[in-house]
Structure 1
């Protein structure tokens, strides 16, 4: 067994990650510390037509109302990476571009491909970094952000926490969002051995939420996707073994 890995992402992604970890020889322990919830979208406030739809998270598609997808699905979709591009195709978008894997790279690709002044619908979460929108507007694009979901912090049940603490401490923890990292930091302050292993973060923003954990072994994925995160987990071995 290559190590005990705590997975903090919510379902349905948590079980998919656990299956990948099991296939790689790890023992996965699920403890979701965040959840995504759909937000109501005022369709009358969506001011189309648009030249393109930009998406930096698959959650923005999975939580979007069907009516919104139907309004936009014939418009070219510019997705941040492979997972989001697949979600766009599954949702019904006919023309989908697979981006470079991060929001900054997607912004650069849009600037290179579309004329300034192009109108872009940006499907996004309420909690997000401002860089993509700022880059688009500075480059002269007319961007409308449409918030389709929010991310909440979750407090694990007493039973789940007790079961976790009664067994061996995790060798590694996978952290996918700033909200989950904040929740984990609170738990780790109360139960320090939870943070004794490698803390593997999807992005620098996620890692920043752990800075209050003194002496923690914090690692960041090379790119903000699960493939890179699991590669970072493998690179953390033999510490995770």
Structure 2
């Protein structure tokens, strides 16, 4: 029996390791595929800081020449995972919010003066208008879309076989977009009924709403916006087989 991890690579392997440490078997089934978008730095713009809402934004520009001067700036990360990715990318001054856009906005407002100019390294699909919210508070935000996450059409044959053999115990969801992609792929792969009958553990109420809308019978929500809390939610409803 196993837990299905829907996160894209490379984050899914870290989640799988955390699950195995807790005694769970895992099946990796990324439902979004990372694609970098060419980054064109505005050399004439002087930034006062950088905003990042996903570690993927940093992965997309890791080898770009502009990183040599961007690393010298203060980076505002949405949460611990993106903050860790920023430090791994060579940023020295990293400030982390509490895992959501509102806390990131408030952190920027608290730490920088109005009129500051920030570089927002963003994905193609945004869950909120962070740039607009900060703009309304007197900041200049220059958004650079550095990556997109492309939904897969269907689950792999191995994952479909695992569903059909009833080897999946639960499914983990870390974003609204990946949750939607999973349910659509499950439907296209002919395992929707099996998938909806399983427990679904979600990182937030917003992600849980997607599972509810899809018709999931059991939905658990993490108490905080981090991976450990998602795994805690899993343990509340599905005990590891190795314990």
TM exceeding 0.5: yes
Q: How does 1:47-86 map to 2 (within 5 A)?
A: 48-64=45-61, 65-86=63-84
Question: Quick check: 2:52–2:122 contact (8 Å CA) kept in 1?
Answer: yes
Compute the displacement of 1:5 (Å): 0.8
Name the CA distance, whole Å, in 2 between partners of 1:42 and 1:145: 11
SS of 2:214 mapped into structure 1: coil
Name the CA distance, whole Å, in 2 between partners of 1:41 and 1:122: 12
Question: Quick check: 1:32–1:156 contact (8 Å CA) kept in 2?
Answer: no
Name the CA distance, whole Å, in 2 between partners of 1:13 and 1:167: 26
Q: How does 1:81-160 map to 2 (within 5 A)?
A: 81-156=79-154, 158-160=156-158
Question: For the structure 1 residues 232 and 134, does the alpha-carbon distance in structure 2 shift closer, same or farther, using more than 3 Å as the test?
Answer: farther
2:201 matched to 1:203? no
Name the CA distance, whole Å, in 2 between partners of 1:211 and 1:46: 46
Q: Deviations along 1:154-177, whole A, 9 cap, x unmatched?
A: 134552244223422522101123
RMSD across aligned C-alpha pairs, in angstroms? 2.2
Q: Number of paired residues?
A: 237
Question: For the structure 1 residues 215 and 74, does the alpha-carbon distance in structure 2 shift closer, same or farther, using more than 3 Å as the test?
Answer: closer
Name the CA distance, whole Å, in 1 between partners of 2:155 and 2:168: 18
2:234 — aligned with what? 233
- State the TM-score, normalizing by the size of structure 2: 0.87
Q: How does 1:141-180 map to 2 (within 5 A)?
A: 141-156=139-154, 158-180=156-178
Structure 2 unaligned residues grouped into runs of 5+: none
Name the CA distance, whole Å, in 2 between partners of 1:221 and 1:47: 43
Compute the displacement of 1:150 (Å): 0.5
Q: Deviations along 1:126-152, whole A, 9 cap, x unmatched?
A: 111224223211111111111111011
Name the CA distance, whole Å, in 2 between partners of 1:174 and 1:104: 24
Question: For the structure 1 residues 111 and 150, does the alpha-carbon distance in structure 2 shift closer, same or farther, using more than 3 Å as the test?
Answer: same
Question: For the structure 1 residues 223 and 46, does the alpha-carbon distance in structure 2 shift closer, same or farther, using more than 3 Å as the test?
Answer: farther
Compute the displacement of 1:21 (Å): 0.7
SS of 1:171 mapped into structure 2: strand
Q: Which one of the candidate residues 5, 8, 11 is aligned to 1:7? A: 5
Question: Quick check: 2:3–2:169 contact (8 Å CA) kept in 1?
Answer: yes
Q: Deviations along 1:43-65, whole A, 9 cap, x unmatched?
A: 2x465211111111111111114
Question: Quick check: 1:125–1:147 contact (8 Å CA) kept in 2?
Answer: yes
Q: How does 1:180-219 map to 2 (within 5 A)?
A: 180-189=178-187, 190-191=190-191, 192-219=193-220
- State the TM-score, normalizing by the size of structure 1: 0.88
Question: For the structure 1 residues 83 and 156, does the alpha-carbon distance in structure 2 shift closer, same or farther, using more than 3 Å as the test?
Answer: same
Name the CA distance, whole Å, in 2 between partners of 1:131 and 1:100: 17
